[in-house]
């Protein structure tokens, strides 16, 4: 039994690696050599499944090989007409699974962002001159005067919403691109943006507390999604940077292809979430609706988004069958 597993586990793992690539692309995403290898590994896994059923009584091994063969079979014999279901599969299964698979990168990005936001708030509270270091020179006068500068960014109209949406997507793409540079660029961008956010709120509550409440009321409606997508895309960039530094059992090219496809999936999903954030920021956030409506919107959209990312698309059989 142990010998059977030892002889087969490397091939089974390689088949899993190829299936991970195919989760974000079609067979056309593989080279000719990889396609041939995929076919050979599929046939070998099917043979191993037959042997496991006949000669072993290990349900975990049988379930694992059965899941592996079913996944491979689906990739090989999937009808081309199924293309209309790809969007549904992407949102119902592929995006949340990819997020959970790489969640450690997102958590690192979140920790950096929140850590420097707290640092920026505390440092600015102690010494307001720190605001100049994060390019907030002159904003003290706006705060003391009670000028809501954010209302000049949009007037709750379609033009304002589309402009904000475009800017949000560009910011996340920039953070993603910076993350791919060995992760170093993402750390800088997250640290700077986090410190800047903390600094502006510290100035508001230090110089004009009611004004700070007004800014918080404006930000919260769209901010949960928007800020989340910034660190999510930074984490996606880090995935590529880390794959280049440490490809693991794969070649560097294979690791970059696999993580690159997974990262692209996350960024596409983030762009879709930012559509929602842009609509909220363009219409609800600058409106005169009560603060409780805006806070409720931020909390409910955030809860819905994270419930989807953390709970949707679970494959219980495959998870139980992991060796």
Range of the domain at 160: 99-311
CA–CA separation, 173 and 269 (whole Å): 12
For residues 115 and 256, membership in a common domain is answered with yes
Which of 43, 78, 113 terminates a domain? The answer is 78
pLDDT at 320 over 50: no
For residues 126 and 167, membership in a common domain is answered with yes
Binned at pLDDT 50, 70 and 90, residue 85 comes out as low
For residues 133 and 234, membership in a common domain is answered with yes
pLDDT reported for residue 80 = 45
pLDDT reported for residue 29 = 66
pLDDT reported for residue 117 = 95
Which of 47, 78, 109 terminates a domain? The answer is 78
Instruction: Identify the burial level of 319 via C-beta atoms within 10 angstroms of its C-beta, where 0-12 means exposed, 13-18 middle and 19 or more buried.
Output: exposed
Q: Examine residue 321 and state whether it is found in any structural domain, yes or no.
A: no
The number of domains in the chain is: 2
For residues 204 and 167, membership in a common domain is answered with yes
Q: Examine residue 323 and state whether it is found in any structural domain, yes or no.
A: no
The answer to whether 211 and 139 have CB atoms below 8 angstroms apart is no
Q: Examine residue 201 and state whether it is found in any structural domain, yes or no.
A: yes
Q: Examine residue 104 and state whether it is found in any structural domain, yes or no.
A: yes
Of 79-93, 117-131, 170-184, 292-306, which gets the smallest average pLDDT? Answer: 79-93
pLDDT reported for residue 319 = 45
pLDDT reported for residue 57 = 73
Give the DSSP letter of residue 84.
Answer: G
Of 66-80, 147-161, 237-251, 302-316, which gets the smallest average pLDDT? Answer: 147-161
For residues 53 and 125, membership in a common domain is answered with no
pLDDT reported for residue 87 = 76
pLDDT reported for residue 156 = 45
For residues 140 and 255, membership in a common domain is answered with yes
Is the pTM for the entire model greater than 0.85?
no
Q: Examine residue 291 and state whether it is found in any structural domain, yes or no.
A: yes
Crossing angle of helices 103-126 and 209-245, rounded to 10°: 140
> What value does the mean pLDDT take over residues 34-52?
86
Binned at pLDDT 50, 70 and 90, residue 165 comes out as low
For residues 254 and 169, membership in a common domain is answered with yes
For residues 290 and 257, membership in a common domain is answered with yes
For residues 223 and 294, membership in a common domain is answered with yes
pLDDT at 133 over 60: yes
Nearest alpha-carbon partner for 236 in 90, 103, 92: 103
Which of 23, 49, 78 terminates a domain? The answer is 78
Convert the pLDDT of each residue in 17-29 to its tens digit.
Answer: 888 877 766 666 6
138 or 273, higher pLDDT = 273
Convert the pLDDT of each residue in 7-16 to its tens digit.
Answer: 888 888 888 8
Q: Examine residue 86 and state whether it is found in any structural domain, yes or no.
A: no
For residues 15 and 152, membership in a common domain is answered with no
pLDDT reported for residue 33 = 81
Q: Examine residue 138 and state whether it is found in any structural domain, yes or no.
A: yes
For residues 128 and 272, membership in a common domain is answered with yes
pLDDT at 60 over 90: no
For residues 151 and 250, membership in a common domain is answered with yes
CA–CA separation, 135 and 192 (whole Å): 10
Q: Examine residue 320 and state whether it is found in any structural domain, yes or no.
A: no
Residue 65: Cβ within 10 Å count: 24
């Amino acid at each position: 039994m142990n010998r059977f597993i030892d002889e087969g586990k490397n091939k089974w793992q390689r088949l899993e690696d190829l299936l991970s690539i195919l989760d974000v692309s079609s067979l056309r995403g593989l080279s000719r050599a990889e396609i041939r290898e995929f076919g050979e590994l599929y046939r070998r896994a099917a043979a191993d499944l037959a042997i496991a059923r006949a000669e072993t009584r290990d349900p975990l091994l049988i379930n694992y090989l059965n899941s592996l063969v079913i996944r491979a079979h689906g990739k090989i014999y999937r009808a081309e007409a199924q293309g209309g279901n790809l969007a549904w599969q992407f949102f119902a299964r592929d995006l949340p699974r990819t997020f959970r698979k790489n969640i450690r990168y997102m958590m690192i990005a979140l920790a950096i962002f929140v850590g420097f936001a707290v640092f920026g708030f505390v440092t600015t509270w102690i010494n307001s001159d720190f605001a100049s270091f994060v390019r907030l020179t002159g904003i003290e006068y706006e705060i003391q005067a009670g000028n809501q500068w954010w209302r000049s960014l949009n007037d709750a109209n379609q033009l304002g919403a589309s402009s904000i949406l475009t800017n949000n997507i560009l910011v996340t793409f920039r953070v993603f691109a910076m993350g791919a540079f060995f992760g170093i660029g993402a750390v800088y961008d997250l640290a700077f943006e986090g410190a800047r956010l903390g600094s502006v709120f510290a100035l508001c509550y230090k110089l004009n507390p009611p004004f700070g409440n007004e800014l918080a009321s404006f930000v919260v409606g769209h901010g949960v999604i928007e800020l989340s997508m910034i660190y999510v895309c930074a984490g996606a960039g880090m995935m590529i940077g880390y794959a280049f530094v440490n490809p693991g059992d794969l070649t560097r090219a294979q690791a970059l292809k696999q993580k690159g496809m997974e990262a692209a999936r996350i960024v596409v999903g983030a762009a879709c979430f930012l559509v929602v954030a842009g609509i909220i920021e363009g219409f609800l956030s600058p409106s005169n609706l009560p603060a409780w409506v805006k806070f409720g919107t931020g909390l409910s959209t955030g809860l819905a988004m994270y419930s989807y990312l953390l709970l949707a698309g679970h494959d219980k059989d495959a998870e139980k069958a992991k060796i």
